[in-house]
Structure 1
Amino acid sequence: MLQMDLRREPFKTKDNNRPMCRAADIKNKPSQSGERICTVERAASPRVNPTERQGTEVAHALGIGAAAPAGPSLLSTWGEELAQAMLEMDMLTEQEYAMDFFTYMMRKQSAHVFRPVDIPKSVTAEMRNVLVDWLIQVHEYLALEEETLYLAVYLLNFYLSERRIHTSKLQLLASTCLFIACKIEESLIPEPAELCFMMGDAYGKKELLKMERKVLYRLRFDLSYTQPVHFLRLLSLTGKCPEKISFLAMYFMELTLREADGMMIEPALLACAALRLAQVVVTLSCGLQMSPAVPRLYSYSDAELLGSLQLMARSALRSDANSTWQKFSRPQRLEVSAEPALSAKNLRRCIGSLSLQRQAACPVTD
């Protein structure tokens, strides 16, 4: 069990009435298969029947339905903006290679997308949600970079797609993936003893290092990953998006780490969908003025974009009690997760409208 209360106040739900479910409790309750897992209560989303006017309004705000460019990525158009964005990201010496970096990222990202067959059946949605929730708590507690979290979850997904692991070892695996990610992304690496402390000393340093060798061997020491965070930052900077929109998009994107379906979304598509959804929910709720469009550095079909938008909206609707909501409700991130724009009514309206638009984009044929 997490023992953070000695160093910081434990995470709680939005109303602070009950503590959050922790990944260390995975083995506290037997499942139907005999394994011990922690269950997570989820409120069922009520049926939503949006009016035709509402559906049109949401679709217009999303920019869906218009003809999307069918050609390759618009690199020449946004070359200067990319270089300027890299300058703002403190990448001065790499400015002249901006186009080469971006082209490489676009080509490489498809290698980091999982197929439906890669999703492990032994890890249920509840188990995955609890595990990633705990990982986010540890990540924030250690004040690690955003890239470290995304790489850790990717390594976790990769290992689970390659090899089965007993439920009792899931927390150890998650800690090991975070430890490896820190070695890639961080300048200061947490001590193994500190990670063992986060696991309530359920595992020792020797077990952590042994699992590290297993993970590295299974991954064939290939730790490369095209970060969706990088795409989102480039899109935000080139589109001159307000800081609140950028944080809200980051919030939507982090929610997909909990979803198995999020493993099958390309990083660039994930970033585009998160930024687009952040714009539409704020626009529909309070009419905030912002850039009229997200720079289209890459083209996706309406069906691909709609599926990602719908997944994020559904995740946001279930996020009131998790660590991601708590993380983005803090002043450092402008409290975007507590925005009125993310009310259940507004999100359900978006989900219903997106469902209608997806049906229109993918009609059923005989």
Structure 2
Amino acid sequence: MSEMEGKREPFKAKDNNRIPCTGDQRKKKILAIGSKVSVADKLSSIGASFLAKRARVSEVPVHHVQLNINASKGSSFSEQWVEELVQAMEALDMHTEQEYALDIFTGMLVNQSCQTFRACDIPKSVTAEMRTVLVDWLVQVHEYLGLEEETLYLAVYLMNSYMKVHKIHTALLQLLAASCLFLASKIEESLIPEPAELCFMMEDAFSKKELLKMERKILSRLKFELHYIHPLHFLRILSAVGKCPMKILYLAMYFMELTLLEADGAMIEPALLATGALSLAQRVSLESGFLTIDETWHGVQQWFSYSDAQLTSCQNLMARAALRAVSLENKSTWHKYSRPQKLGVSSGPSMTNSKHLARCMRTLSIQL
């Protein structure tokens, strides 16, 4: 244990938003994780009960988005749009990329639809409860290791991509998740976790050899196509353009991260996730009095060609996940965003007393 803690020390200086922990606190955290029923046992139990009753998954149509910009006519709105994008990239310390801001952003929009899943891509053998347990465990490991936010999103994307092209036995789901996190760390992190650490987090249910073998299988099945357009990138650009307060950004990040636990969340384009999360965060904050009408950025929905129906459908899914997060047994995301480093957005009064979230929940229940 002490050897592992020493290896993770460099992570402390990577991000000021990270949660600083002493050695004793980290021991308590890992003991809290290990004291629960193991993830492998949970998944096996869920899989056994699922054999008696198969869930029906309705297919959500994939929508393609276009920029709400008339560049061909050289309109003044086009120039204003590009200027806002350049300023946003400067605010995000992306000075080198400013010259190619429009090319980068349009490329992200064009390619994102290729990385959106359909209902038939999500294996029916992996139930909603299984997915919740698995992603919740990933969130715990991700936070304990102090990894970048992008690493978590990429790990879940790789996991979905592998299950799309290859069947996976229920007993190997945790190994798949850990291997995807290991691969994502190699892409997003400057310091990657040791395989032995991930095996320890799996309570040594799988060996280092099995972890590396699964990594090779993932690379082979996915043909080394590991690139992913992050919804976080869209969200950060939008929040920089709108000059949104940090509390709004964290609340939007919370809504987006909750969709990782939902199979339907994998069927929503990253740009739509970012737009829906930021709009919902502003609406909830406005309702609670944290924001005023004058402080609200009304241009968030004008950047893309998403319809009100698409945004409403996305926000209803986030509202359901947010209201369920408090009562779920596996609520690592809720705990993560209830900490002071995330401004306690998941447990604040704007969430607990939101009538808008309740209305979204009722609308989704009627549709189902």
Q: TM-score, normalised on structure 2? A: 0.80
User: Which secondary structure does the structure 2 equivalent of 1:130 belong to?
Assistant: helix
Confirm or deny that 1:338 pairs with 2:347.
Answer: yes
Moved more, 280-289 or 163-172: 280-289
**1:8, distance to aligned residue in structure 2 (A):** 3.5
- Aligned partner letter, 1:349: A
CA deviation map 1:59-83 (0-9, x unaligned): xxxxxxxxxxx97433723211211
CA deviation map 1:96-132 (0-9, x unaligned): 1111100100001001100111111000000000000
What pairs up with 1:174-323 in 2 under 5 angstroms?
A: 174-286=177-289, 288-289=291-292, 290-295=295-300, 296-320=302-326, 321=328, 322-323=331-332
CA deviation map 1:305-340 (0-9, x unaligned): 111000000000111140000000011110000111
**1:29, distance to aligned residue in structure 2 (A):** 2.7
Change (3 A) 1:306 1:206: same
**1:288, distance to aligned residue in structure 2 (A):** 1.8
Count of paired positions: 317
Q: 2:259 and 2:241 mapped to 1: Cα distance?
A: 24
Any conservation in 2 of the 1:250–1:274 contact (CA below 8 Å)? Answer: yes
Confirm or deny that 1:10 pairs with 2:43.
Answer: no
Moved more, 279-288 or 189-198: 279-288
- Aligned partner letter, 2:338: S
Q: 2:45 and 2:184 mapped to 1: Cα distance?
A: 30
Confirm or deny that 1:29 pairs with 2:45.
Answer: yes
User: Which secondary structure does the structure 2 equivalent of 1:176 belong to?
Assistant: helix
Q: 1:71 and 1:220 mapped to 2: Cα distance?
A: 29
CA deviation map 1:6-64 (0-9, x unaligned): 83433899xxxxx87663432463623569xxxxxxxxxxxxxxxxxxxxxxxxxxxxx
Change (3 A) 1:206 1:6: farther
**1:255, distance to aligned residue in structure 2 (A):** 0.2
Q: What residue is the counterpart of 1:73 in the other structure? A: 68
Change (3 A) 1:82 1:151: same
CA deviation map 1:152-202 (0-9, x unaligned): 000000111111111110000000000000011000011111111110111
Q: 2:362 and 2:44 mapped to 1: Cα distance?
A: 40
Any conservation in 1 of the 2:320–2:361 contact (CA below 8 Å)? Answer: no
Any conservation in 2 of the 1:275–1:294 contact (CA below 8 Å)? Answer: no
**1:91, distance to aligned residue in structure 2 (A):** 1.2
Q: What residue is the counterpart of 2:11 in the other structure? A: none
- Aligned partner letter, 1:335: G
Change (3 A) 1:21 1:351: farther
User: Which secondary structure does the structure 1 equivalent of 2:206 belong to?
Assistant: coil
Any conservation in 2 of the 1:196–1:203 contact (CA below 8 Å)? Answer: yes
Q: What residue is the counterpart of 1:349 in the other structure? A: 358
- Aligned partner letter, 1:7: R
Q: What residue is the counterpart of 2:58 in the other structure? A: none
Any conservation in 2 of the 1:248–1:337 contact (CA below 8 Å)? Answer: yes
User: Which secondary structure does the structure 2 equivalent of 1:337 belong to?
Assistant: coil
1:328 to 311, 329, 337: 337
Q: 1:307 and 1:127 mapped to 2: Cα distance?
A: 23
**1:284, distance to aligned residue in structure 2 (A):** 1.3
- Greater helix content: 2
Confirm or deny that 1:85 pairs with 2:85.
Answer: no
Any conservation in 1 of the 2:147–2:189 contact (CA below 8 Å)? Answer: yes
What pairs up with 1:82-161 in 2 under 5 angstroms?
A: 82-161=85-164
Moved more, 290-299 or 118-127: 290-299
User: Which secondary structure does the structure 2 equivalent of 1:86 belong to?
Assistant: helix
Q: TM-score, normalised on structure 1? A: 0.80
Change (3 A) 1:353 1:26: closer
Any conservation in 2 of the 1:11–1:20 contact (CA below 8 Å)? Answer: no
- Aligned partner letter, 1:240: K
Any conservation in 2 of the 1:71–1:299 contact (CA below 8 Å)? Answer: yes
- Identity, in percent, stands at 57
Any conservation in 1 of the 2:135–2:156 contact (CA below 8 Å)? Answer: yes
**1:291, distance to aligned residue in structure 2 (A):** 2.6
Structure 1 unmatched runs, 5+? 14-18, 36-69, 360-366
Q: 1:21 and 1:327 mapped to 2: Cα distance?
A: 20
Structure 2 unmatched runs, 5+? 6-23, 53-64, 72-77
Q: 1:238 and 1:21 mapped to 2: Cα distance?
A: 44
Change (3 A) 1:84 1:128: same
Any conservation in 2 of the 1:273–1:309 contact (CA below 8 Å)? Answer: yes
Q: What residue is the counterpart of 1:44 in the other structure? A: none
Q: What residue is the counterpart of 2:10 in the other structure? A: none
- Aligned partner letter, 1:303: A
